[in-house]
Structure 1
């Protein structure tokens, strides 16, 4: 008869309860040390910051920024130190309120699929339509206004000349045919000064102003073009190439012998033509 412990009393006592399981951080730390790894080694391998690894090994998960990130860090660190992450994740969920239920994605995608597409205004089409309208208007205006090259500028108010009424020719003038410019000036009103400028021998720049100094015209006359100006008192002219210009003042042709290229400054009134 032996005195002592029975064989059953000699068997080691194994505590497999939840309380005997080491904390998550302690389990990760022990596995890291057993693998011969430092915190710097694990940080370089997982790209998890050293401060977060130290906090997790101390069972402080606040630095992770939330339970979702804490689970991810635990899973990453466990794989780095050759541990099965599943038991550690279950242990974390048991001590932190359980794993949150996943949000069903089907209703969200269904709503996105049936949502009508909102289309913005087609600015390209609107711009093209506007350009077409402008081009059409400009072409129509040019077509309507392209009837001739002779303009009349009045220093006081624009006037519209009535169509000339043909008069019977007398016997002694039957063979005489007046020049077109003479016919255009013949009906000039007596209470105004009328000046016609024609580029007969080339092109010339001209400028015309009324008695108050208001600019009536400033531009280039090509050969064959003419301009007619009227004012209640006087017309001031500047001819860039006087030799290329023929003037009619109050129905009379000016016979001055201007040289080609000469610049002339002239003033004409309601009386007989006078060079200013």
Structure 2
């Protein structure tokens, strides 16, 4: 993992490019770029995001994206194979472990068994006799109709007349669909300080992105690419083939795109 990050950092420093420059060009937040150079991919939500970030970073510094994606897949593969070997070894050890036979305890002699049975019969008869004697002498208490009140439970403590303070509910983040048809869908994001939009592509999709009226990018994305958009009041997206795009807004996944086959406009506004 660190080998990949060292190669990226070396190429960037040789070209005299800063992380801020790459962040502006690729629209990837600086914290994710730092994570790539450190070889720590735990910040990314999944492997598809790592591959997309590697592809964009490599293109920005003039390297072959396919080579870095191949290096990443090779670095992940040995861990998986090692886990499978360890699991198969554990199963094999369990199967081949010798079974230690239990020592057979000597059976009780017949005379001891007879005495145990006799004692059990005597004990059962004694219990049956005592139960019936008690049952015969039982006297029912007449019901007087008065309700029994426990004096300790009846001693009520005075109720404090003061009003207890109630914590006001905090704002929770929410993504609300305002309007929508086959041509345009509008959403309102509330309860957040910053808006974060993640686009992940599973196929070819021409995309136009605008933030607060400013054109950010217009290009065709391919399978494995992803785009991370920072905070803005209004974001407008134009997707040429919606089923090839996965859209998340502050963790909320927009599922209205799967059934659309025509280009769609998506507007996402943040509540002020």
TM-score (norm: length of structure 2):
0.32
Which structure is richer in relative contact order (CA contacts within 8 A, separation 6 or more)? 2
- How high is the TM-score relative to the length of structure 1? 0.32
